[in-house]
A and B are shown apart, each in its own frame.
Chain A
Amino acid sequence: MTVRKTMPLLGCVLLWVAAAPLQAQVVSLNYERLSSLEDPLAAELGDVTYVLNGLADLPLFLDLDGDADRIESITNFQFEASTQLSNRWLAALTYFGQYVSDSAAETASEEDYTDNLALSVGSYWGTVLLGNVSGIVREQTRRLRGAGNASLAFDDTLGRLGDDGGGYLVRFGPWLFSSLIDDDDSFDLGVTYQRPTGTRDYRLAARYTDSTYTAEDGSRTFDSTAFSGVAEVIFGSSRWDIGAGYEHLSGEGLKLERWYTSAGGRLKAGVLSISLEGHYGQIEGEDEVSAAFGIQYDLARGLSANLGLNHTDGTASREGTSIVRARDNKAVLSMRYSF
């Protein structure tokens, strides 16, 4: 069966495919049509290559605790201009924009649209990045993201670096070093080691972060010092990883200790990706617990149906300050298209 005619028909088939995954492999969506915008979205003018990527997501958030459900639309795009300089350095300027609409919100937020700008220059001596690059160390050293709409709460330091800063990445064989400093002198250091051994591929990552954290109720700001590590093994099409971290928070006469562990697995079989992960930690003896289950079902190039079941439960307060407070059970369903 090939869908060739109209968008309504395409929509019907998409819904049918999402509802009948076991039969979906006999369906052929015409993903050549879905990719018809491919060529106009990339161009080479002179020595500069321009590429526009985009993503549209329509998630439905179902609150399993009985609170209000809501539906959003999320649209991202990224525009990059890159070139090779005469000394062979690779230079790229990237603009990223995101628009989020929340129909359940009572008033439209002024922050519906956010954007980033980053400049990178790279050679064999590594890559220097400037601009809104606050996630570069975290992305190199984190546990693998869950599939679909899985989102494991708490699985990071509470402390955050500012959006704007400068970073440096360099590789020495299986070692990848990453660093970042923001305009407030907070910094992030990371190292990753990955090498196949025998029939398995291992990745080890460590990260040291010096940053700041504003309490959940906004009443205090803490200096955060954190160390975290991840170990991952890849076997065939499955990945398994564990993570652990320790964080010291201090500010305005209050000192807090936090530790956490997490573990998860991800499997891809054909067009189906599944992940399951869990997290347990404590802040000053008070528990933080989260779990996430995710599914991504690829329907066509760039088009996927996604599910996430996310559980979050963590509350900690000291001296009248609410440090963290999150309790939530959500199912997130979405259709996503990216090009």
Chain B
Amino acid sequence: MAAEEAFQQPFLFDRAAFLKRFPASEAKTLGVEWGRQVGRQVLKMRTNDGSEPSEVNYYLGRYERREDSLRWRPTGPFYGAKPGPAFASFDRCLYPGHGRIKPWTMTSGSQFRVEGFYDPASPEFAEEFDTIRRLGSANSSTRTTDESEIAIFWEDGPWGITPPGHFLYIAMQLLQDRGLSFMELAHAFALIGMTQCDASINAWDNKFHYDIVRPESAIRVRAPAFRNPDPRVALEPGWLSYIPTPEFPAYTSGHSTFGAAAAEMIALIYGRDDIAFSGRSPDEVLWPQLRGVTRHWTSLTQVAEENGISRIYGGVHWSIDNTQGLRAGRALARHAFESTLPKKA
């Protein structure tokens, strides 16, 4: 029932096929009824949770726009990796109100709000600016082949599986052979699912609270406005990022927050972080160059960090977007694991 609501489709045939796997019995009837009750309860809990008007891509007064040179502006479809997806030019920002919807495990959307962004005239910002300009450009001479592959492997844009989808896919891969009971798996995926949603709320709260410009806009058009004395903070109008810049503010990275929250939660459920495994990209349609590519990791921490830094290699995030997103993601996952759905003794 909750899945029907989330996916906005009646899983008539899927439900019938699933139920057909179990012989008719009183237990089956009671199970179906219990499932309905739980579904109704979840739906009741989430009705009017603020998500419905938040799907409209207008600010609706939820967050104030900043007025200085760091203010986010719409980004264009300028990127270098080919072939790649097509998408609208200069689109309206995506879900400005998402950070205000009711969280699942956090006390509020701003519970794990991060510290402020750099002063754009500071040496730290100049360093960030120069790093992204060199490393994240379409034709970077400093980015390695492996780093380019990482940028595309974790791109997971809204036209494909998305970061939460990719990490749920990884969670299924890791937990399916762990010998967990049905209830333990349900418990695990409830926690992972809730924290992925809360990661989105946390990241969107940060994004629209701080309203920080993307590297694409900063490098192509905004550089002089920063009044940074470092000569490296210079305009480069023809600069292209390697992967597409998403149409919402930079700080913090949603990818980093999703990845850290998922990796931390899977490690807590699994009982360890040092898990060696391999994975292929679930999206080989709009990034066909990923066909046959397999990446290997030795720990969940490595997975989260590779996913996070992919946005730097791709030229769509500042480094601090990644580091702060990783920190927030881990914090909210630990909080959820300790405070939500405690296991019965």
Contact = CB atoms under 8 A, between A and B. Distances in A.
A124 B10 contact: yes
Contact of B61 (A39, A82, A173, A237): A39
Given A124-B4, A234-B285, A300-B90, A173 B9 contact: yes
Contact of B85 (A2, A38, A237): A237
A235 B53 CA distance: 34
A25 interface: yes
Contacts of B92: 35, 38, 301
Given A170-B10, A172-B10, A270-B76, 17 more contacts: A25-B237, A28-B221, A38-B58, A42-B56, A44-B60, A51-B56, A86-B47, A88-B5, A172-B12, A199-B288, A235-B83, A236-B86, A236-B288, A237-B84, A237-B85, A270-B89, A300-B90
Contacts of B89: 270-271, 298, 301
B286 interface: yes
Contacts of B37: none
B267 interface: no
- Majority DSSP secondary structure for residues of A touching B: strand
Instruction: Specify which of B10, B73, B83, B90 lies most central, judged by the most chain A CB atoms within 10 Å of its CB.
Output: B90
A302 interface: yes
Contacts of A25: 78, 237-238
A38 B221 CA distance: 22
Interface residues of A, number: 50
B74 interface: yes
Given A84-B48, A199-B288, A234-B285, A32 B73 contact: yes
B91 interface: yes
A236 B8 contact: no
Contacts of B5: 88, 124
Contacts of B47: 84, 86, 88
B175 interface: no
22 contacts: A25-B237, A39-B58, A39-B61, A42-B56, A44-B60, A82-B52, A84-B52, A88-B43, A124-B9, A124-B10, A170-B10, A171-B8, A172-B10, A200-B285, A200-B288, A201-B285, A234-B286, A236-B84, A236-B86, A270-B76, A271-B89, A301-B90
Interface string A154-179: 00000000000000001111000000
Interface string A29-53: 0011001001101111001010100
Interface residues of B, number: 44
A173 B3 CA distance: 12
B157 interface: no
Interface string A190-225: 000000101111000000000000000000000000
A49 B53 contact: yes
B165 interface: no
B221 to A, nearest CB: 4
B291 interface: yes
A26 interface: yes
B95 interface: no
Nearest to A26: B237
B59 interface: yes
A26 B237 CA distance: 5
Given A35-B74, A44-B60, A172-B13, A237 B52 contact: no
A121 interface: no
Contact of A237 (B4, B59, B76, B83): B83
Q: Shortest 8 CB-CB distances between A and B: which pairs?
A: A236-B83, A42-B58, A237-B86, A298-B89, A301-B90, A268-B86, A199-B288, A28-B221
B193 interface: no
Interface string B50-93: 00110010111100000000010110111000111111011110
A198 B4 CA distance: 27
A32 B71 CA distance: 10
Given A25-B238, A38-B59, A270 B9 contact: no
A234 B284 CA distance: 12
A199 B9 contact: no
A125 B7 CA distance: 11
A86 to B, nearest CB: 7
B52 A49 contact: yes
Contacts of A31: 73-74, 90
Interface in A78-98: 82-84, 86, 88, 90
A86 B43 CA distance: 10
A122 B10 CA distance: 12
A170 B74 CA distance: 33
A31 B93 CA distance: 13
B140 to A, nearest CB: 18
Contacts of B187: none
Interface string A105-121: 00000000000000000
Interface string A1-43: 0100000000000000000000001101001100100110111
A25 B14 CA distance: 49
B220 interface: yes
B308 to A, nearest CB: 26
A38 B285 CA distance: 34
Interface string B24-55: 00000000000000000001000110001100
A200 B52 CA distance: 32
A125 B43 CA distance: 15
Interface centre among B83, B84, B91 (most CB of A within 10 A): B83
Interface string A41-67: 111100101010000000000000000
Nearest to B78: A270
A39 B13 CA distance: 43
